Structure 1
Amino acid sequence: MAKLYFRYGTMNSGKSIEVLRVAHNYEEQGKKVLLFTSVVDDRYGIGKVASRIGMQKEAAVVDDDMDMFAIAQSERPNAILVDEAQFLGEKQIKQLVDIVDSLNIPVMAYGLRADFLGQLFEGSYHLLALADTIEEIKTVCWYCDKKAIMNMRCKDGIPVFEGEQIMVGGNDSYVPVCRKCYAAERKKLQASQPRIHP
Structure 2
Amino acid sequence: MAKLYFRYGVMGSSKSAQALITKFNYEEQGMRVWLMKPAADTRYGADKVHSRIGLEQPADVIDDDMDLYEVFRDREREFYDVIIVDEAQFLQPAHVEQLREIVDYYNVPVFCFGLRTDFRTRLFPGSARLFELADSVTELKTVCTCGGKAMVNARIDAEGRVVTEGEQFLLGGNESYRPMCYKCWKKAALESKSEK
The C-alpha deviation readout for 1:65-121, integer Å capped at 9, x for no partner, is 322212323232111000000001111111010000111100000100000000000
The amino acid that maps onto 1:148 is: A
Which residue is equivalent to 1:196?
Answer: none
More divergent stretch after superposition (64-73 vs 18-27): 64-73
Do residues 90 (structure 1) and 98 (structure 2) align? no
Residue correspondences, number: 192
| Structure of larger gyration radius | 1
Any residues of structure 2 matched to 1:115-134 within 5 Å, and which?
115-134=118-137
- Whole-Å separation in 2 of the counterparts to 1:93 and 1:68: 9
- Partner of 2:154, secondary structure, is strand
The C-alpha deviation readout for 1:142-169, integer Å capped at 9, x for no partner, is x310010000001112211111000011
- Whole-Å separation in 2 of the counterparts to 1:91 and 1:181: 35
- Whole-Å separation in 1 of the counterparts to 2:66 and 2:34: 14
More divergent stretch after superposition (72-81 vs 167-176): 72-81
Q: Which runs of 5+ in 2 are unaligned?
A: none
The amino acid that maps onto 1:94 is: E
Do residues 38 (structure 1) and 43 (structure 2) align? no
Per the TM alignment, residue 191 of structure 1 is displaced from its structure 2 partner at its CA by: 2.2
- Partner of 1:134, secondary structure, is strand
Which residue is equivalent to 2:169?
Answer: 166
Which residue is equivalent to 1:177?
Answer: 180
Any residues of structure 2 matched to 1:10-159 within 5 Å, and which?
10-73=10-73, 74=76, 75-141=78-144, 143-156=145-158, 157-159=160-162
Q: Is the 8 A contact 2:161 2:188 kept in 1?
A: no
Do residues 7 (structure 1) and 10 (structure 2) align? no
- Whole-Å separation in 1 of the counterparts to 2:93 and 2:162: 30
TM-score (norm. length: structure 1): 0.94
Coordinate RMSD, CA, aligned: 0.9
TM-score (norm. length: structure 2): 0.95
- Whole-Å separation in 2 of the counterparts to 1:68 and 1:190: 43
The amino acid that maps onto 1:84 is: E
- Whole-Å separation in 2 of the counterparts to 1:3 and 1:135: 13
Q: Which runs of 5+ in 1 are unaligned?
A: 194-198
Q: Is the 8 A contact 2:6 2:112 kept in 1?
A: yes
